[in-house]
Structure 1
Amino acid sequence: MLIGVSIKETKLKTAEMVKVLRKREKLSQEQLAMRLNLSRITIKNLEAGKNATLDTLFKVLQYFDLLQSFADLVDRETGQQDYDSIY
């Protein structure tokens, strides 16, 4: 279990990060949504820290060229172990 960090806090920090990245690119929520084939409400909810799917988060990370960094973090944290597929 993680100590010192909550899911709520992480969601809010992620929401703020998405908002900062979007504004840095001078995009409205509508413009980002259109580029990602998502609804403006989906972007609004993500930026509000409301539940978002991994697909939505990954689309945003990919758009801002951060998906590889996230994948690298996952690899590092899992020790690149081979896990049995659950499918």
Structure 2
Amino acid sequence: MIDAVTIKEVKLQLGELCKQKRQSYDMSQQDLAEALELSRYTVQKFENGKNATLDTVLKIVNHFDLLGNLYQALKDLEKSNDINSLY
């Protein structure tokens, strides 16, 4: 049986990570939105696991200095040659 992760689960996990990082910096959703030139509503939706553009995801990851980690994880996945398409 395949133990698949859903897109919804990933969105929720990314939203939770954003919320935790934002709160650890003692930032409000409005503070983060202003820093990223986004609306507070966009940050709120992201933290609740709602639709977000890739650009929004990357802005948030970059703001919290996690872009390098994300990039390295992608490179490691690419190197592992363990990328199996479901299509």
User: Where on the TM-score scale, by shorter chain, does this alignment land: which range?
Assistant: 0.7 to 0.9
In structure 2, what is the equivalent of residue 39 of structure 1? 39
- The aligned amino acid for 2:34 is M
Task: Calculate the TM-score normalised by the size of structure 1.
Answer: 0.85
Q: Which moved more, 1:2-11 or 1:52-61?
A: 2-11
Residues 6-45 of structure 1 show CA distances to partners (whole Å, capped at 9, x for unaligned) of: 1111111111110000000000000000001111111001
In structure 2, what is the equivalent of residue 15 of structure 1? 15
In structure 2, what is the equivalent of residue 55 of structure 1? 55
- The aligned amino acid for 2:64 is F
Overall identity of the aligned pairs, in % = 40
Residues 28-87 of structure 1 show CA distances to partners (whole Å, capped at 9, x for unaligned) of: 000000001111111001001001011101111111000000000111111299xxxxxx
**Structure 1 residue ranges, 4+ long, deviating more than 4 angstroms after superposition:** none
Task: Calculate the TM-score normalised by the size of structure 2.
Answer: 0.85
Distance 1:57 1:80 in 2: 24
- The aligned amino acid for 1:4 is A
Report the CA distance between 1:3 and its aligned residue.
3.0
In structure 1, what is the equivalent of residue 85 of structure 2? none
